[in-house]
């Protein structure tokens, strides 16, 4: 059974319910995931916000990049396992699932390299004025993504 990962811990949903994961090739359940609810989402956001405010924001850009690169390497190390899970969960052909695992590792590799390279810019404007862009994180964000991509 797959649990929610909140505050560096695997925890069951507060609903106490699960959802069966069905293998599209035969319609049979192969695992369960948590049936999370608003309370679980709130707990995850609070934990992410605490991590942002206490740990992540204190790291320098280069160190954040190193951590993302380590994640990329872990994904590459477990690419075959992730690909097999993707096939079973989504019913993807082997070649596509393998490509998705490689793309996932590449995304983290790309953003690892970008961490210390995103800077603001000075924008030409009227004499006597300075106009700048300043890039800063939005903080904790939530996303609803398609079930079949990205991995």
pLDDT at 139: 80
Domain range list for the chain: 1-58
pTM above 0.85, yes or no: no
Q: Hey, what long-range contacts does 63-69 have (CB within 8 A, 24 or more apart)?
A: 64/115, 65/112, 65/113, 65/114, 65/115, 65/116, 66/112, 67/112, 68/108, 68/109, 68/111, 68/112, 68/115, 69/108, 69/109, 69/112, 69/113
With a cut of 50, which residues of the chain have pLDDT below it?
none
pLDDT at 35: 95
């Amino acid at each position: 059974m797959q649990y929610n990962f909140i505050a560096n811990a695997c925890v069951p949903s507060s609903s106490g319910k699960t959802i069966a994961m069905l293998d599209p090739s035969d319609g049979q359940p192969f695992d369960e995931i948590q049936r999370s609810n608003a309370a679980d989402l709130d707990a995850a956001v609070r934990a992410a916000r605490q991590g942002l405010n206490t740990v992540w924001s204190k790291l320098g850009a280069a160190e954040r990049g190193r951590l993302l690169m380590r994640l990329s390497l872990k994904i590459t190390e477990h690419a075959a396992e992730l690909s097999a899970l993707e096939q079973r969960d989504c019913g993807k052909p082997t070649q596509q699932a393998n490509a998705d695992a490689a793309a996932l590792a590449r995304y983290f590799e790309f953003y690892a390299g970008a961490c210390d390279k995103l800077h603001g810019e000075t924008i030409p404007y009227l004499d006597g004025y300075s106009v700048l862009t300043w890039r800063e994180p939005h903080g904790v964000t939530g996303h609803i993504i398609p079930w079949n991509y990205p991995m």
